[in-house]
Structure 1
Amino acid sequence: MQNRARLQILVVDDEAAIRELLRTTLEAEGYGVHVASTMREGLTLAGNRRVDLFLVDLGLPDGDGVELVRNIRSWTQRPILVLSARTHETQKVDALDAGADDYLTKPFGVAELHARLRVALRHAGLSMVAADTRLDLGDVCIDLVARSVSRQGEPVRLTATQWRLLEVLARHAGRVVTTRQLLREVWGPGHAEQAHYLRIYVHQLRQKLEADPSHPQFLLTETGVGYRLLLDGDTPLTR
């Protein structure tokens, strides 16, 4: 389906059969899928890839999945769905208290899994339907599906990091995104205190997207907080 946004799911499970089952069924539904078999590998992928939803098993060979949930939740609000063979109520509560959004006990039905995914994504403001994947900022058009930017109909070349930063801002269009959140989502959790990276790349984006970069109309600074990307029709905040 050409109008479907390709949401990205990270599966962290030590069972190869489960990983393959999830990859096959999720890709058939139009999701992009990354897989990891350990907590360490999962954290590495989470820091280096865009992830819209996490599927995490609690019984990992190098640590407790609850700790992985807690770690992920410390730097992103993306949905986390826990998959586990454990049935004890306390463990379910621990996972939810650590930040999981929902819990499925193995064995689970594929139809139920997809239903839970849709609910979690909807609550997070995400959707498989690409209703808001083409965004307009004056004479600039951002296409989140094609991963492209044009200005007055001409392509705008962005580096991979410039695109990741713009993509995060675009997916939160109209809302302030904190400096810490941007650093974590674009550069990974190990860079959460390196705000100078962000200032440099925001400056670069303004040079490419704004008619007057010294007086930006769309990529705005929220002093002491972060940045906000305004779209056509958004009302600028009084400063």
Structure 2
Amino acid sequence: MHILLVEDDDRLAAALTAALDRLGHQVVRAGRADDALRLKDGADFVLLDLGLPDMDGLEALRRLRRASAVPVIVLTARSEERDVLRGLRGGADDYLVKPFRTAELVARMDAVVRRGTRPLAGSGTVVAVGGVRIDLAARQLEVDGRPVALTRREFDVLALLAREPGVVRSREEILDAVWGDLLLSASRSLDVHIAGIRSKTGCPWLVETLRGTGYRLGTGGCS
């Protein structure tokens, strides 16, 4: 994997680069946010420190997310729950507090990759319902033949529901599968993403809410 390591601490960057190199990864290191944003397109994975000299890492994360869906793990000394939630809400796939073991980082990277490439259930990779066509393998969405662009996490939520139409997914199950962190269960992050799916597709029925139970793929039709 091509990994972009965004870290201004020379000693930590050198140690991580050596460890990841030994595992067969190719690491490019950026010590500043502006360099990271310039190098993002060549990365398969981003490891992002928040304490950067030219820009707060959370702002760098927001800018990165506006341009790319590349997986991101935040690496930081900020351990308060509000910082963790801000990182996850800002688009990070996981959040690891320093100091950490390299083995744990690698395990978390593997988990993020698995969440993005898990086998698809059902007989095919295309789900069609009410004028909506969801291509799970290509990560493409069409409504009445018109392509609709979702964010990475919006598509992940929709894909989770579409893999097994009719199956109700609890709020906690979705947060665990897509965000990988149940700390978000009391937040409105999932609500915001579901609202985005409904708004962008023009199909409010597409994600059906079952109060007190969870969510499932709807069966209506867009008008």
* TM-score scaled by length of structure 2: 0.53
1:46 is matched with: 40
Alpha carbons of structure 1 residues 29 and 173: separation in structure 2 relative to 1, 3 Å = same
Contact 1:12 1:37 in 2 (8 A): yes
Q: Report the Cα distance in structure 1 between the residues aligned to 2:40 and 2:149, rounded to whole angstroms.
A: 16
Q: Report the Cα distance in structure 1 between the residues aligned to 2:67 and 2:148, rounded to whole angstroms.
A: 12
1:76 shift after superposition: 1.9
Q: Does 1:13 align with 2:12?
A: no
Alpha carbons of structure 1 residues 175 and 112: separation in structure 2 relative to 1, 3 Å = closer
1:176 shift after superposition: 4.1
Alpha carbons of structure 1 residues 29 and 67: separation in structure 2 relative to 1, 3 Å = same
Q: Report the Cα distance in structure 2 between the residues aligned to 1:71 and 1:19, rounded to whole angstroms.
A: 22
Contact 1:53 1:121 in 2 (8 A): no
Q: 1:25 aligns with which of 15, 19, 22?
A: 19
1:125 is matched with: 117
Structure with the bigger RCO (C-alpha within 8 Å, sep 6+) is 1
2:54 is matched with: 62
Q: Report the Cα distance in structure 1 between the residues aligned to 2:10 and 2:23, rounded to whole angstroms.
A: 20
Q: Does 1:112 align with 2:104?
A: yes
Contact 1:96 1:102 in 2 (8 A): yes
Alpha carbons of structure 1 residues 23 and 180: separation in structure 2 relative to 1, 3 Å = farther
CA RMSD of aligned residues (A): 2.3
Give the aligned length.
Answer: 128
Q: Does 1:93 align with 2:75?
A: no
1:75 is matched with: 67
Q: Report the Cα distance in structure 2 between the residues aligned to 1:98 and 1:113, rounded to whole angstroms.
A: 20
Q: Report the Cα distance in structure 1 between the residues aligned to 2:85 and 2:139, rounded to whole angstroms.
A: 32
Q: Report the Cα distance in structure 1 between the residues aligned to 2:117 and 2:15, rounded to whole angstroms.
A: 26
1:75 shift after superposition: 2.0
1:93-172 alignment, distance < 5 Å:
93-125=85-117
Q: Report the Cα distance in structure 2 between the residues aligned to 1:179 and 1:31, rounded to whole angstroms.
A: 34
Q: Report the Cα distance in structure 1 between the residues aligned to 2:73 and 2:138, rounded to whole angstroms.
A: 27
List per-residue Cα deviations over 1:125-165 (Å, max 9, x = no partner): 28xxxxxxxxxxxxxxxxxxxxxxxxxxxxxxxxxxxxxxx
The percent identity for this pair of structures is 38
Alpha carbons of structure 1 residues 18 and 180: separation in structure 2 relative to 1, 3 Å = farther
Q: Report the Cα distance in structure 2 between the residues aligned to 1:13 and 1:124, rounded to whole angstroms.
A: 25
1:175 shift after superposition: 4.9
Unaligned runs of 5+ in 2: 119-135, 142-146, 151-223
Which structure shows the bigger proportion of residues in helix conformation? Answer: 2
1:69 shift after superposition: 1.1
1:37 shift after superposition: 0.3
Unaligned runs of 5+ in 1: 1-6, 127-171, 182-239
3-state SS of the aligned residue for 2:5?
strand
3-state SS of the aligned residue for 1:104?
strand
Q: Report the Cα distance in structure 2 between the residues aligned to 1:18 and 1:125, rounded to whole angstroms.
A: 29
1:57 shift after superposition: 0.3
Give the letter for the 1:71 counterpart.
R
